[in-house]
Structure formats: C-alpha cells, structure tokens
Structure 1
Amino acid sequence: MPSIPASRPSTFGEELANSISHGLGVVLAIVGLPILIVNAVHVGSTAAMVGAAVFGGSTILLYMASTLYHAVSHERAKAWLRRLDYGAIYLLIAGTYTPIALGVLRDSWGLALLGVIWSLALLGLVFKLVVGARFERLSTALYVAMGWMALIAIRPLWQHMPAAGLILLFGGGVAYTLGVVFFMLHERLRYSHFIWHLFVLAGTGCHYATVLGYAY
C-alpha cells in the first residue's frame, strides 16, 4: 500500500517488512483465488463466478503492486509503482463490492451500487496515475468514504445476508479503517506502515471469508 509522502524516508528494515508482509498477501491471494472460483462453480451461479474472479483478481493486483513498490529501490521505477499502488486501492475497493452486489443484493440496489463504485474507482485510478502522491489526504478520505458506502445498502444487506456474513463484511471495513490511523503516522512512528499492512491483511481476510461463505 502507498506510503504518505514525508520528509522521513522509510528505512531498509521498514521497506523489508512492508515487502514481506504484502508479499505474503500475494501468495495468499493467488492460492485463495481458485478456491473462490471452485466454490462459485459449485454454487452454480454466474454472478458468483464473476464476483469471485473480480474480487480475487483485484486482491492479487493490489498486493502485487504494493509488494513491488516497497521492494524496488530504483527511484524512477518506485515512483511509477507508487502510482499503481495508489490506484490499485480503488480497484480493490470496487472489486470487494462486486461479489456482494452481484451475489447478495442482485436487484437494482446491487446494480446501482456497482455502477457508482466502479465509476469512482476508475476515476480514482486515472487520477492517481496522473497526480501521483499529491492530494494524499483527500485520496485517503475517499478510500474510506468509498469503503463505507456499503452502509447505504444496509437494509437490503440485512435482509439477504446472514448475521455472520454481515459481521465479517463490516469487520473487514473496521480493520481497514483502524489501519488508516497507522497509515497516517508514518512521519512519527517507525514501522507504522508495516502495522497498516497487517490491518490490510486482516481486512482482506474478513472480506475473503465473506465472499467465500456468503456472497451468493
């Protein structure tokens, strides 16, 4: 995940921890994708298959971009990988909404939410590829706002998803949101970005369990 531009550069140890943590995320995401696909095939729903593929693909992209960004030291390459890392966050957010919208909501609620969230994600991706690390606080606020847009559909979610699924879904959102606190502390707290990565892994894990068990 992206680092906040700051006067204090990340140490070698910090970047090593950042790379390893999300490198683990890459491995888990790659291993987890076929499990999601097989489960969706077993369910027999095209919507579940599409949702699982989009969620799994966006997860792999996010963790791959983050790992490469933190692992590479070449200045120019790192700058471009940072843009991709920033943009991939938008895609993961939209990718997480996709199986819920297609498999759980399904009706006009799902289609409307999916259209809005993917429009915002694509605009955010282009924006980040163009401006890079600028407007970081605005981008962070948008990430959080997009994530919690699910509250708009809380009533149909409550009607169509078991309580355990809702707990996992919103528990993942809480993990990401709490992690943002450490994301913003890079300047003052060493290894805060690594801690942020751990919260991201926890959030993704909750959402993976949601998609696997309840997004159909």
Structure 2
Amino acid sequence: MASQQNPKSADAAADPQELTLTSIPLRHTTSAISAAQLGAAETRVQAAPAVIKPLLRGWLHAGTTPLAIAAGIVLIVLAQGGIAKAGAAVYLACSVLLFGNSAVYHIINWSPRVKQALRRVDHANIFLLIAGTYTPVALGALPLPRAALLLTIVWSGALLGIIFRVFWLSAPRWLYVSLYVGLGWAALFFFSEMLQANVPAMILVAVGGLLYTIGAICYGFKWPLRNNKYFGFHELFHACTVAAFFCHWTAALLALLDPLYLR
C-alpha cells in the first residue's frame, strides 16, 4: 500500500521557494524577525537628517576678533591713569578670548570631544566678557571704593557662572541664558551713580545691554531664522553681541578718557 503524503509537504516539495513560517524552526524565525527589525532601525538612523549649521556660523566673531584687538589697544593707549589702563587691558583680554574662541569653536567641524571642550570655554567666556566689560566702566565712572564693590560682585558672579557652565554643560538653555542676562544687568543698583558721572557713557552701556538681551532672547528661544541656510538665530545672537561690544567699547572709552577718580 502506498504511503499517504502530507499535502503541505507535497506543495513545499513542488515549489521550494514557497516556505511558510510553520516550515521554519522557531529559533530561525525569531532570528529573522530580529534581523529585519535591526535593519529597519539602522535604515531609520541613516535616514535621520543631519543637523547642518548655517554657513555664516562663527564668521561674525572671526571678523570681530582683530577689530577687538585693535580697539583694545587704542583703549589702553587713550585711558588716563594706571588704573584706567589696567581696566582697559582686562577688557581687551576678555573680549579677544570670547570672539577668538567663538570663531574657532563655531567655524570648524570638530570631533565630539574637542567640540565639547571648546563649548565649555565658549560659554565660560560669556561670563568673562560681562565682568570684563564692567571693569573699565566701573573704574571710570564710580568712586574707587564703589567700583571695587561692584567689581567684587560681578567677578564673583562670573566665577560662579564659569564653574557652573564648565561642570554642567548639559544645563537647560533657559537656565544659563537667564544667568547671563541676570549678571549683565547686575549694575542697575549702581547705574544712577554712574549716570551722574558720565551720561553719554551710561546711555551707551544701556543700549549695549539691551542688544545683548535681545540676542540672548533670540538664542534662548531659537527664534527667528531657525532653519536658515546662511544666517540663523544663532548668527543673529552673534550680530547683537558684536553691536553691543562696540557700544560698550565706546562707553568704556568715554569713561576712561575722564575717569572719576582723577577729577
């Protein structure tokens, strides 16, 4: 008597390419599904759009760096008195550190490790420039004891801010931007005194402060020009810092040409 053949086995034998899951061992089925899922995940990762920074990122600060060096030298030469010249030198050093490092950090596509280190320096330099800007203005527009008090407050805040950014690089954007703005306006309690000493200089200080604040808001909210190919919100922030720098440089010049402590 001829043996009866399983219909499914006969179909499989007739067409070896038609295989069902029931004809494949379970462990091979699981491996095949896992491999398919892994391949799909890799495809999704490869298809994810890369973050491309605008083409002008960092170039505003690169162009400002030599101007900051020249402006700082002029400020030192024209400042009246040793204390005023020392304040101008501090301003020169802080401004060149900020603009120079920012250009190097933002223009070049660094490895993740180097990029992280430069980002720490970049964000720490913002605190340095805030304190460095206050230094010549306070020394020129306040009595020296009051200038020492203001600079102690501002430089202490800058030091704490630097430590904060160096050791907590992943801090929320809203938090560290708020700290920049808060430290930048710390001199409001001394503003009336400085205004009496030098009105034009203090008007420029206020204008520069507003420009820094507008830039910080654009940076904090990533708005406007969020996805622009050439000039985005970050570049707008940099443009505000450059404009504010020259406002504050002019204010420092006016204050150091006729410092209050020499009157």
Normalising by structure 2, we get a TM-score of: 0.73
Q: Measured at CA, do residues 142 and 95 of structure 1 come closer, stay the same or move farther in structure 2, by a change above 3 Å? A: same
CA–CA distance in structure 2, aligned partners of residues 19 and 105 of structure 1: 35
Is 2:148 the counterpart of 1:111?
Answer: yes
Q: Measured at CA, do residues 113 and 10 of structure 1 come closer, stay the same or move farther in structure 2, by a change above 3 Å? A: farther
After superposition, the C-alpha distances for 1:16-58 in whole angstroms (9 at most, x for unaligned) are: 3122111012121112121111112xx2x11110110001110
For 2:186, the equivalent position in structure 1 comes to 149
After superposition, the C-alpha distances for 1:54-85 in whole angstroms (9 at most, x for unaligned) are: 01110000111211111231221111100100
CA–CA distance in structure 2, aligned partners of residues 128 and 187 of structure 1: 23
Query: Does the CA contact (< 8 Å) of 1:83 and 1:133 recur in 2?
Result: no
For 1:39, the equivalent position in structure 2 comes to 78
Q: How many residues align?
A: 204
Is 2:100 the counterpart of 1:59?
Answer: no
CA–CA distance in structure 1, aligned partners of residues 137 and 179 of structure 2: 20
CA–CA distance in structure 1, aligned partners of residues 98 and 178 of structure 2: 18
Is 2:212 the counterpart of 1:176?
Answer: yes
Moved over 3 A (4+): none
1:22 to 61, 70, 75: 61
Question: More helix per residue: 1 or 2?
Answer: 1
Query: Does the CA contact (< 8 Å) of 1:83 and 1:128 recur in 2?
Result: yes
Query: Does the CA contact (< 8 Å) of 2:173 and 2:220 recur in 1?
Result: no
Q: Measured at CA, do residues 154 and 187 of structure 1 come closer, stay the same or move farther in structure 2, by a change above 3 Å? A: closer
In the TM superposition, residue 187 of structure 1 has moved relative to its aligned partner by: 7.2
Larger CA Rg, structure 1 vs 2: 2
2:163 to 126, 138, 151: 126
Root-mean-square deviation over aligned CA pairs: 1.9
For 1:68, the equivalent position in structure 2 comes to 104
Q: Secondary structure at the match of 2:222?
A: coil
CA–CA distance in structure 2, aligned partners of residues 66 and 198 of structure 1: 13
In the TM superposition, residue 10 of structure 1 has moved relative to its aligned partner by: 5.0
